[in-house]
Structure 1
Amino acid sequence: MATIKDIAEAAGVSLATVSRVVNDGPKVGEKTRQRVKQIMEEMGYRPNANARALVTQKNTALGVVLAELHDPFFAMLAHGVESVTRRKNIQILLSAGSIEKETERRAIETLMEYRVEAMVVHSKALDDDTIIDFARQIPGFVLINRFIPAIANRCVWLDNVTGGRLMAEYAISQGHINLAVISSQYRIDDPNQRLEGIRNAISNAGLSLPETLVEYATPDQEGGEQAMQNLLATGAKFTAVLAYNDAMASGAMTMMQDQGIAVPEQVSVLGYDDVLLAKYCRPKLTTLRYPIEMMAAKAAELALRYANGEKPEPGIMFKYTPTLVKRNSLIRR
């Protein structure tokens, strides 16, 4: 493998000149710069990222902290970030926070140790003050899927209250007055906000949502199955189920179908997120589209701009709203 010394000898320049070219430094003529770059390409030279970080005091990578690496939702988030970094030829460093306070903290601090100054962070477990402190230390820190007023211009977030309201309003508009809800058991903002929106819409329609018709479980297909099993065990009557996400919706449909309950003829189901699963489960899932890829791309662009010296503008917010996607799992009552 070619070294910086090999490049210098082949180009007939000093080691310092090659180092300046590698690190986009000044005091190198354009003709010399292009010749050195051509020789680097011909000899297959690849700069050492860690060494470059020591020289420039920054890393050319963009760090991403996700909750989970296997969840389809977070795969979409990562893809949105990658659409920006690929275009800008920037490396991605991924880490998982697992919705645990210390794991999230370690993930961010590890990226800081590598001098990563642009980060897209999905954090649900860390408290607001800790997040604000990180934002003060890291020039390109951007928080996704969460809103903290003190760093509003560094937050790219979804209006989950409106999303919950849209779910319930659509179900009610289709004649469903007996609704059940299956929600995430995690003590984070998203399920609470969505449930708040659902309750608001139900109340505005002059209806009620008894606590016996709200079940909590893990936000995955297994959790959806378990939550639906619990609802059925109570003997409660409902004609539509509003699910925290598409995975729970899919699990709930599977449980009902296994019990001989026809979906949507007997019970309709409405999901949230519009991940790939929603198009291919049967029946195809009516859901709320979470524009996470668009949001992630925006977060990546902001992180890189802030890391490069652009100052976040006060009073600017990056709020997104989910939209209804009508398919086959919810029909008129």
Structure 2
Amino acid sequence: MYIKCQVTHKVKRLHMATIKDVAKQANVSIATVSRVVNNGPKVGKETRERVLNVMREIGYVPDANARALVKQKSDTIGVVVPDISDPFFAALASGIDKVARKNNVQMLLSTTAVDAEAEQKAIEMLIERRCESLVVHSKKLSDEALLTLAKRVPGMVIIDRYIEEIAERCIWLDNYQGGRIAARYLHTLGHKHVACITSSYQIEDPKLRLQGFTEGLSDVNVSVRCVEQGEPNQQGGEKAAQAIISQHPEVTAVFAYNDAMAIGAISTLEDNGYKVGQDISVIGFDDVLIARYSRPKLTTLKYPIELMAQQAAELALNINKASDNSPNISLYKHLPQLVKRESTHLLG
């Protein structure tokens, strides 16, 4: 008998409280409980407090998906990025999270590893979760695919990419001008033998940065001695730098696709006897946190990704409330800013 009572007690504790349980114990209708859960009108203060007390007592937790169905939306903002372990995308997610918290919504994050099919699935999943607000970083889906998705979700904002047909929903950086800024700066330092380390990923950003860099140097009658590709991380930068110094020892300056590749290049250069910032200059791109703490501290082009992410999140959350006036699209285009540190030097 004792054992039977114990078993019965356990079964009772394992029972998950339902909205019916709340209604029965609070002596109200299921509709009233639903209005309390969704913060609806026509519920008296005493009734609301009684229902909330019962919910706490019996451990009732409203189902998020059910609430979304009732409200036809969810209290979430969906975010699609390639890789959260990358400091650049971590900063992007951090920017969105700050806006989400300020607006009392949850951030739902999905990663895609720079793959078109994964990007499509991630966006579809967030749409199924009834996310009316999306911030999407997509480099592999075609413009046409993103336009189709954007038609389904008016609150979908594209970050780090420009699509003319939905320019009012794109927050982007002028990568081409970033390359020109790097070229102009190295030229002012007197460098004529320069190399470029770029990403092997077949996306638009490295192509635009390289194009801006080479054309910026061409304007002052300087040509790029060599272009080395690699994965956009420290290891990719290390290997690319090794190829540069073995094949083009005359190079006095290197422009890298991002800070990770620049720091990897610095490691290889220092290991091979170069004093970066004295014998050779290195300039990166992004200005992620590690750029300020590398040795030497990295000269780079600041990509205001956290600021852009905040802007994208605010736009995604508020886009349905916008007036009929045409948005100021110029606000959505950002230019990288040169940050001068110790890894570049003036040629004597």
Q: Same fold (TM over 0.5)?
A: yes
* Higher-Rg member (1/2): 2
Q: Is the 8 A contact 2:245 2:251 kept in 1?
A: no
Give, as a single letter, the amino acid of the residue that structure 1 aligns with 2:315: L
In the alignment, what sits opposite 1:134? 149
Corresponding position: 1:316 with 2:328 = yes
The Cα of 1:26 is off from its aligned counterpart by 3.9
Q: 1:16 aligns with which of 19, 26, 31?
A: 31
Q: What's the CA shift for 1:21?
A: 2.3
Partner in structure 2 of residue 91 of structure 1 = 106
1:246 pairs with one of 246, 256, 259: 259
Q: How does 1:111-126 map to 2 (within 5 A)?
A: 111-126=126-141
Deviation at 1:59?
A: 1.7
Other-structure match for 1:327? 341
Structure 1 residue 171, shift from structure 2 partner:
1.3
Residue pair 1:153, 1:313 contacting (<8 A) in 2 also? no
> How far apart in 1 are the matches of 2:53 and 2:285?
50
Q: Which amino acid aligns with 2:109?
A: L
Displacement of 1:60 after TM fit? 1.4
Q: Mind listing any 5+ residue stretches in structure 1 that lack a counterpart?
A: none
Q: How far is 1:202 from its partner?
A: 0.6
Question: Does residue 286 of the first structure (1) align with residue 263 of the second (2)?
Answer: no
SS at match of 1:59: coil
Matched position secondary structure for 1:302: helix
Q: Provide structure 2 residue ranges, at least 5 long, that are not aligned to the other structure.
A: 1-15
Residues 152, 316 of structure 1: 8 Å contact kept:
no
- TM-score, normalised by the number of residues in structure 1: 0.92
What is the Cα deviation at residue 314 of structure 1? 3.9
Taking a change above 3 Å as real, the CA distance of residues 205 and 179 of structure 1, as seen in their structure-2 partners, is: same
Instruction: Output the CA distance in 1 between the equivalents of 2:279 and 2:299.
Output: 15
Q: Which AA in structure 2 matches 1:232?
A: I
Looking at both structures, which has the greater relative contact order when contacts are Cα pairs under 8 Å and sequence separation is at least 6?
Answer: 1
Compared CA separation, residues 289 and 48, structure 1 to 2 (3 A): same
Residue 117 of structure 2 aligns with an amino acid whose one-letter code is E
Where do residues 1-333 of structure 1 align in structure 2 (5 Å cutoff)? Answer: 3-9=18-24, 11-29=26-44, 32-33=47-48, 36-37=51-52, 40=55, 45-210=60-225, 213-306=226-319, 308-310=320-322, 314=326, 316-317=328-329, 318-333=332-347
Kept in 1, the 8 Å contact 2:302–2:339? The answer is: yes
Q: What SS is found at the alignment partner of 1:250? A: helix
Shift of 1:259: 1.0
CA distance in 2 between counterparts of 1:311 and 1:22 reads 31
Identity of aligned residues (%): 51
Per the TM alignment, residue 65 of structure 1 is displaced from its structure 2 partner at its CA by 0.4
C-alpha deviation, 1:41, in angstroms: 5.7
What's the RMSD between the two structures over aligned residues? 2.0
Aligned partner of residue 131 in structure 1, secondary structure: helix
The question of whether the paired residues in 2 share the 8 Å contact of 1:220 and 1:248 is answered with yes
Give me the TM-score of the superposition, normalised by structure 2. 0.89
Q: Which amino acid aligns with 1:186?
A: Y
Cα 1:148–1:261 shift into 2, 3 Å = same
In the comparison of the two structures, how many residue pairs are matched? 330
